[in-house]
């Protein structure tokens, strides 16, 4: 039996085990995915244990994504750009660190029908860890302009300076009304959306969004933002799709096989429904 798992905070309620185990089962692979709750001082030792021949690799999640980078033998360019490793692959005792979040974001955007960003402007709400992966994804999708807006304006400016080559521009929250109509992709990468009544932009501002825009919310639920956007007939994507797509990419890296994306999506949806029912 091969092993992989998630190195995360001990209070982690990750959907990844359900999703990855469904994929192993579907393909008849003799492997299992476990939760490996880890406190920060033990991250190094935990990652070293991944070199064992029965381990395929691991996911690393908040708050350990940054700590994982120096523990790997090689780190991909994408992971370096994002500044975080979320997937480690054990290649015969050598550990390769990668990040599948930007890929998960891009695959979700493409699946929603948006293929080419070359002529387009994207607007990112938020400037934290999730926003970093989104910006790298948008750059790989070749968006012409990426507008960043954040509650703490200085953080948006810093991120734009760090990641942008002129294509990333920090804008003020006050000028959002001008940025909304010109954006063909709007991404909520703030933590606003987990509770009903929380919206990063107002319902009135949703009315300013272009008719052919895609509204993407990184939250793993149908948020008020997505509900408002849908009621206006806009295309939407939620964070669950990105979770599934980043997990599918990790799965392929560990197994060398194409991931059963539909099986993985159904597994997380069923688990989410189960958890909602038991609340
Ligand atoms: P993550 O890893 O999910 O990106 P994070 O790095 O803590 O989490 O980033 C959270 C983002 O949500 C930040 O952009 C944060 O804005 P600040 O940089 O100003 O803190 C944003 N955010 C959190 N609460 C918010 C709120 N009540 N209103 C607006 N933005 C909020």
pLDDT tens-digit map of 136-163: 999 999 999 999 999 999 999 999 999 9
70 & 132 share domain? no
Q: Which structural domain, as residue segments, surrounds residue 39?
A: 2-99
Q: Residue 43: which CATH number?
A: 3.40.50.10860
**Average pLDDT per run of 10 along the chain, which is 279 residues long?**
94 89 98 96 97 98 92 97 96 98 97 85 97 96 96 96 91 95 97 94 97 95 96 96 97 98 97 87
How many A from CA of 18 to the centre of ligand 1? Answer: 28
87 & 189 share domain? no
Residues 6+ apart with CB under 8 A from 252: 258, 259
Domain edge (last residue) among 99, 126, 147 = 99
How many A from CA of 257 to the centre of ligand 1? Answer: 36
Query: What is the DSSP secondary-structure string of 151-201?
Result: SSHHHHHHHHHHH-SSSEEE--GGGHHHHHHH-SEEEE-SSTTSSTT--SS
Label residue 141 exposed, middle or buried (CB < 10 Å: 0-12, 13-18, 19+).
buried
How is residue 61 annotated by DSSP? -
Q: Residue 161: which CATH number?
A: 3.40.50.720
119 & 208 share domain? yes
Q: Which helix (H) or strand (E) holds 6?
A: strand 2-8
pLDDT of 166 reads 81
pLDDT of 277 reads 87
How many A from CA of 242 to the centre of ligand 1? Answer: 18
Answer yes or no: is 251 within a domain: no
Mutating to test ligand 1, I would choose from 129, 190, 217 the residue with most ligand atoms within 8 A of its C-beta, which is 190
Answer yes or no: is 174 within a domain: yes
pLDDT of 11 reads 72
33 & 51 share domain? yes
The closest alpha carbon to 47, from 92, 12, 94, 115, belongs to 94
Answer yes or no: is 279 within a domain: no
The closest alpha carbon to 99, from 117, 123, 74, 118, belongs to 74
**Cα–Cα distance measured from residue 74 to residue 119, given in angstroms and rounded to the nearest whole number:** 35
51 & 127 share domain? no
Provide the whole-model pTM: 0.95
pLDDT of 114 reads 83
Answer yes or no: is 255 within a domain: no
pLDDT of 21 reads 98
**Atom 2, ligand 1: residue with shortest CA distance:** 129
Mutating to test ligand 1, I would choose from 151, 153, 192 the residue with most ligand atoms within 8 A of its C-beta, which is 151
Cα dist. 137→1, 110, 141, 204 in Å? 34, 11, 6, 28
138 & 193 share domain? yes
Quick check: is 65 catalytic?
A: yes
């Amino acid at each position: 039996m091969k092993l992989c798992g998630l190195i995360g905070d001990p209070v982690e309620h990750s959907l990844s085990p359900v999703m990855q185990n469904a994929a192993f089962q579907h393909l008849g692979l003799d492997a299992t995915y476990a939760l490996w709750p880890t406190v920060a001082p033990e991250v190094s030792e935990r990652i070293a244990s991944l070199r064992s021949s029965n381990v395929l690799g691991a996911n690393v999640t908040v708050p350990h994504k940054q700590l994982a980078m120096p523990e790997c033998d090689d780190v991909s360019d994408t992971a370096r750009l994002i500044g975080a490793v979320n997937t480690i692959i054990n290649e015969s005792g050598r550990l390769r660190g990668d990040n599948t979040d930007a890929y998960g974001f891009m695959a979700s955007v493409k699946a929603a029908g948006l293929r080419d960003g070359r002529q387009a402007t994207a607007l990112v709400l938020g400037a934290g860890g999730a926003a970093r992966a989104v910006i790298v994804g948008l750059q790989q999708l070749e968006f012409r302009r990426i507008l960043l807006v954040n509650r703490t304006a200085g953080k948006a400016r810093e991120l734009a300076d760090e990641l942008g080559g002129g294509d990333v521009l920090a804008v003020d929250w006050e000028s959002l009304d001008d940025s909304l109509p010109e954006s063909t992709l709007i991404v909520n990468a703030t933590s606003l959306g987990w509770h009903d009544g929380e919206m990063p932009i107002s319902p009135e501002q949703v009315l300013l969004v272009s008719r052919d825009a895609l509204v993407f919310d990184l939250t793993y639920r149908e948020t008020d933002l997505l509900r408002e956007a849908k009621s206006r007939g806009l295309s939407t994507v939620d964070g669950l799709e990105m979770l599934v797509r980043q997990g599918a990419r990790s799965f392929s890296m560990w197994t060398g096989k194409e991931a059963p994306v539909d099986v993985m999506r159904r597994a997380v949806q069923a688990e989410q429904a189960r958890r909602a029912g038991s609340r």
